[in-house]
Amino acid sequence: MALAAVVVLPIGLLFLLSGLVINFLQALFFVIVRPCSKNVYRKMNAHLAQLLWLEVVWLFDWWAHIKVDLYIDSETLELMGKEHALLICNHKSDIDWLIGWVLAQRAGCLGSTLSLIKKSLKLLPVIGWSMWFTEYIFLERSWAKDEHTLKAGFENLTDFPMPFWLAVFVEGTRFTQAKLIAAQEYAIAMKLPIPRNLLIPRTKGFVAAVNHLRSFVPAIYNCTVAIPKDEPLPTILRMFRGRSSTVHIHIKRHLICELPETDSGIKQWCRDRFVEKDASLELHKSKNSFDSSECHSIGRPKKSLFVVIFWSWLLLYGAIKFFEWCSFSWGTIAFCALLLLFVVILMQILILFSQSEKSDSLRSQTINYKEDTLNQKLIP
């Protein structure tokens, strides 16, 4: 309760009110500008989305002081943000999506960062709506329904006017110990390499992405996220509490033109990369670092801090004018109380959506090794 009053409430109020302003402008430009020029709209929307998403980056950078060490070669670092790229990453924590936003902000392409995400997120006020305007691809986790959605989404990116990143979490779900055990049981049954630090990739979406994007997207960034063994796993709740942590990220660039041409070849390429990723994470556990590349600290730019200061001043000014304009009454008090309650509920929903599934019961993870059931439960 103290956390809600002291931290979640003011941050949530700032995020909600500024987000509704951004959503209104996004909708306005969608109606007025997009019919005339889709690319002009996209450029305008990228700046608007940044004004909202930088608030979350501020939470990561300036409130929680989470440090990111980036293990990457200098050539790839120089290209980041200057080319279209498909990102594949292990799904380690609740805030992997935010880590991607932080990297994109440093690379200068935060407003053109996209992802394949579950359809239910589109309904989330503010952040979900902003993702819809920014052309995120929303999936239902049913291949029969998602195949057409993916194709249309990929084709929509062919004329994208700015360098974009499209993130694909090919494991399909966040990592938990229960899911790891299920994946290991599946690997044993199917005579696959047994994972120790991640899940077995679901490859249909990745194969579709490569097939549709290889003509205009030059690179795949293979990202591996690891948390040093002496550091706590970062979560949304820990961020709100201002608790710091350190994240290690290893990025290796692959030319998409060098991938196999066949679906089976692309599928095997993805699985091979995850076998390598698993070995890299195992080595990281012993050495507490990725030592195969240069280590770069990505710093903590002040842009997100300035954005939060700007919104805070603007909304404070608006609140003062509002209370000067309206007469003090029980109706005004009731309105403010309902607004604050709505903010708390909304922030709680956002936190719950971000959290990994908590289940230590192996019974709930029992897998029937019939082929059709396996395809539904683990690898489509």
pLDDT confidence bin for 12, thresholds 50/70/90? confident
Decide if 72 contacts 248 (C-beta within 8 A): no
Q: How many other CB atoms sit within 10 Å of the CB of residue 259?
A: 17
Q: Is residue 315 part of a domain?
A: no
Point out the least confidently predicted range of 233-237, 270-274, 277-281, 290-294. 290-294
Cα–Cα distances in Å, from 218 out to 87, 167, 326?
A: 12, 15, 56
Cα separations in angstroms, 131 against 52, 113, 149, 358: 11, 10, 16, 26
3-state SS assignment for residue 327: coil
| Amino acid making up residue 202 | R
**SS3 (DSSP) at 212:** helix
* DSSP designation for 16: H
Shared-domain flag, residues 162 and 208: yes
Region 98-127: mean pLDDT is 92
Question: Does residue 157 form part of some domain?
Answer: yes
- In a domain? residue 379: no
- Give the model's pLDDT for residue 92: 84
Are the beta carbons of 53 and 110 closer than 8 angstroms? yes
Of 242, 272, 304, the residue at which a domain comes to its end is 304
Give the position of tokens 């033109």: 257
According to the model, what pLDDT value does residue 330 have?
Answer: 66
Residue 124 lies in a domain: yes
Q: Looking at the structure, do residues 70 and 142 belong to the same domain, yes or no?
A: yes
Q: Side chain identity at 273, as an amino acid letter?
A: R
pLDDT of residue 354: 61
Instruction: Mark whether 244 and 343 lie in a shared domain.
Output: no
Residues 337 and 299 in one domain: no
Residue 367 has pLDDT above 80, yes or no: no
The string of pLDDT tens digits covering residues 117-158 is 988 888 888 899 999 999 999 998 888 889 999 999 999 999
The pLDDT mean for the chain works out to 86
Which of 229, 235, 230, 242 has its CA nearest to residue 99? Answer: 235
Residue 369, pLDDT > 50, answer no
Given a cut of 80, is residue 33 above it in pLDDT? yes
Whether residue 255 is found in the same domain as residue 342: no
Q: Is the pLDDT score of 362 beyond 70?
A: no
Q: Residue 376 falls within a domain, yes or no?
A: no
pLDDT tens string 41-61? 999 999 999 999 999 999 999
Instruction: List, in sequence order, every residue forming a beta bridge with 186; answer none if it has no partner.
Output: none
Mean pLDDT of all residues in 334-350 = 72
pLDDT classification of 359: cutoffs 50, 70, 90: very low
Task: Please indicate, yes or no, whether residues 118 and 156 belong to a single structural domain of this protein.
Answer: yes
One domain for residues 218 and 341:
no
Residue 282 within any structural domain of the chain: yes
* DSSP line for 279-309: HHHHHHHHHSS--SS-EEE----SHHHHHHH
**Residues 258 and 142 occupy one common structural domain:** yes
pLDDT of residue 351: 65
- Predicted pLDDT of residue 7: 66
Residues 203 and 296 in one domain: yes
Q: Do 226 and 92 touch, CB atoms closer than 8 A?
A: yes
User: How many CB atoms are closer than 10 A to CB 217?
Assistant: 23
The answer to whether residue 365 scores a pLDDT higher than 70 is: no
Is the pLDDT at 361 greater than 50, yes or no?
A: no
Phi, psi angle pair for 224, to nearest 5° = -125, 120
Length of the chain measured in residues:
380
Q: What's the whole-model pTM score?
A: 0.86
Could you tell me if residue 204 is inside a domain?
yes
pLDDT of 333 reads 67
If asked whether residues 88 and 160 sit together in one domain, one would say yes
Evaluate whether 118 touches 141 at the Cβ level (below 8 Å).
yes
pLDDT on residue 317: 86
Q: Examine the pLDDT at 28 and tell me if it is beyond 70.
A: yes
Q: Encode pLDDT of 184-207 as tens digits.
A: 999 999 999 999 999 999 999 999
In a domain, 7, yes or no: no
368 pLDDT more than 60:
no
The total number of structural domains in the chain stands at 2
pLDDT at 353: 63
| pLDDT of 249 strictly over 90 | yes
| Domain of residue 271, CATH code | 3.40.1130
Same domain, 209 and 336: no
Structural domain boundaries enclosing 343 = 326-356
Q: 132 or 320, which is more confident?
A: 132
Selected residue with higher pLDDT from 1 and 190:
190
Strand 67-71 and strand 295-297: pairing? antiparallel
Does 222 share its domain with 298?
yes
